[in-house]
Structure 1
Amino acid sequence: MLILTARQLATSGHKLYPTHIPISGLQRTILAAGSAVTALRNPLRGDMVAALGETTGYYFLKRMRDQMLQSDTGRQILRERPAIHTSSLNFDELRATCAPGTFGYAYVSWLDAEGVTPDTRCPVHFVDDEELAYVIKRYREIHDFFHTLTGLGVTVEEELALKWFEWVQTGLPMTALSSLFGPLQLSWHERRRLYGTFVPWALQCGASCTPLMNVYFEKQFHTPLGELRKSLGIIPAPPLH
């Protein structure tokens, strides 16, 4: 009996999860190159940034998954598959029950202040492994938790600072490209501040803090923000002046 691997099933046209789009190796190469060019020209093209991450990150996603498997909490997350979405989290309840100073209060306040929601994350299409597709989905969905923990906003400069942090945490090629080429979009003053202040912070904090893919953030909403930062080894980013 012929037993096909997940990647063979994917390239033969079999969908591995509801949003999966099977593509050939040649199509993957073309999509990776095209999304890289577009994403570097316009870092705000979330769809192209997402496609780049999916088409270039397979081995790094495996490493992230393996890291999760080494942690009791990481294994629980992989087993239970929590989702960050307005259909899975009661944000009105969080606003009503999370006391000022808690992680949940800071998270919801950050979302409200920046005018963003967790529903805007791109679905995963091009990862030819169902479990790894969840890993990158989880990575995208906890991105706003990173903002909350580090205190970074959504300016281009602050997003790039967070990309350096995420590069150290994940090793994903997409974060590396954003970190290295994204600063070309900045003014000289902004680049000087990024490399002189934010990058040293991101490298140190990203390397020394807990692997954040192993954190069940949904169980920490009522934890004081300072206490959670301390337990994870997170040092807030320098303020943007």
Structure 2
Amino acid sequence: MRRLLLRAVGAEEEVEEEEGWHQLYPSHIPTSPLQKALLAAGSAVMALYDPYRHDMVAVLGETTGCLALPNLRDKMKHHPEGYRILQERPCIRLSTLDMSRLRGLPDGSLGREYVRFLEDNKVSPDTRMPPKFVDDEELAYVIQRYREVHDLMHTLLGMPTNMLGEVVVKWFEAVQTGLPMCVLGAAFGPVRLSARKLQVLATELVPWAIRSGLNASCILNVYYEQRWEQPVESLREEIGIFPPPAVRM
């Protein structure tokens, strides 16, 4: 178990070949159902203790997404734009982004606001961990894509990266994806918020996030890399995301 957790957070440089293992993609670590259950329990405890442990959040998402990921994959397969994404497998990394071009786009465009979000919050798309414990190569891409568009959800929803903003995004993503990891984050993230922020969350932000999540089309069916010039407001309207409430975050 300790060895699996080390692999989960990338603490071992080499993964030894073990009898019966079949690696489905370069970062894949085959695990039994029991091992997945133990990893899910351990990562859940760590993620609840420290919600900013993105490595543990990632492990939790992979080891508990056995029902949600096939459902998301099927939604993508039955949507023209989602199907193209599954076929072409785009990835959002600094190596695939023309940051200078995105910075030069008009204010309000998806590309300009996405770069503004990255720079204002000092985050990078390269920090997203590759999938390891998903035992299907196509589903591994689905969860990788979900991770890569997470910052775009912050951009579209107008939410910062503080705890309140992360909880709101998790509520939206929980409704959209059904991933248990999102449900857990939405349910337990608020315990660290102040009374004032809890009131704002409960009375304004959560109802808006749930309504938007239910109303919006699947967020994985948008080829964001081909929408950089599109105004954020236009893309929100197209997807079905309601304008965010004017509250102090």
2:59 to 41, 48, 51: 51
Tell me the distance in 2 between the aligned counterparts of 1:16 and 1:138.
17
Query: Structure 1 residue runs of 4+, over 3 Å off?
Result: none
- Check if 1:167 corresponds to 2:174: yes
Is there any run of 5+ residues in structure 1 with no aligned partner, and where?
Answer: 1-9
Number of equivalent positions: 231
1:190 to 183, 188, 197: 197
- After TM superposition, give the deviation of residue 100 of structure 1 in Å: 2.0
- Equivalent residue for 1:16? 24
Q: Where do residues 15-164 of structure 1 align in structure 2 (5 Å cutoff)?
A: 15-96=23-104, 98-164=105-171
Residue aligned with 1:58, SS? coil
- After TM superposition, give the deviation of residue 236 of structure 1 in Å: 2.9
Distance 1:11 1:107, change over 3 A: farther
- Equivalent residue for 1:4? none
- Equivalent residue for 1:7? none
- Equivalent residue for 2:243? 236
Deviations 1:36-88 (A, max 9, x none): 11111111110110000000001100000001111011110000000000111
Deviations 1:137-169 (A, max 9, x none): 000000111111111111101100110000000
- After TM superposition, give the deviation of residue 11 of structure 1 in Å: 9.6
Q: What one-letter code is carried by the residue in structure 2 that aligns with 1:15?
A: Q
Tell me the distance in 2 between the aligned counterparts of 1:82 and 1:11.
33
Distance 1:12 1:239, change over 3 A: farther
Residue aligned with 1:111, SS? helix
Q: What one-letter code is carried by the residue in structure 2 that aligns with 1:173?
A: P
TM-score, structure 2 as length reference: 0.90
Tell me the distance in 1 between the aligned counterparts of 2:108 and 2:185.
32
Is there any run of 5+ residues in structure 2 with no aligned partner, and where?
Answer: 1-17
> Does the 8 A contact of 1:102 with 1:223 survive in 2?
yes
TM-score, structure 1 as length reference: 0.92
- Equivalent residue for 1:3? none
Residue aligned with 2:67, SS? helix
Tell me the distance in 2 between the aligned counterparts of 1:174 and 1:94.
31
Identity of aligned residues (%): 49
Residue aligned with 1:35, SS? helix
Q: What one-letter code is carried by the residue in structure 2 that aligns with 1:225?
A: V
| Higher mean displacement: 101-110 or 49-58 | 101-110
| Higher mean displacement: 227-236 or 108-117 | 227-236
- Equivalent residue for 2:214? 207
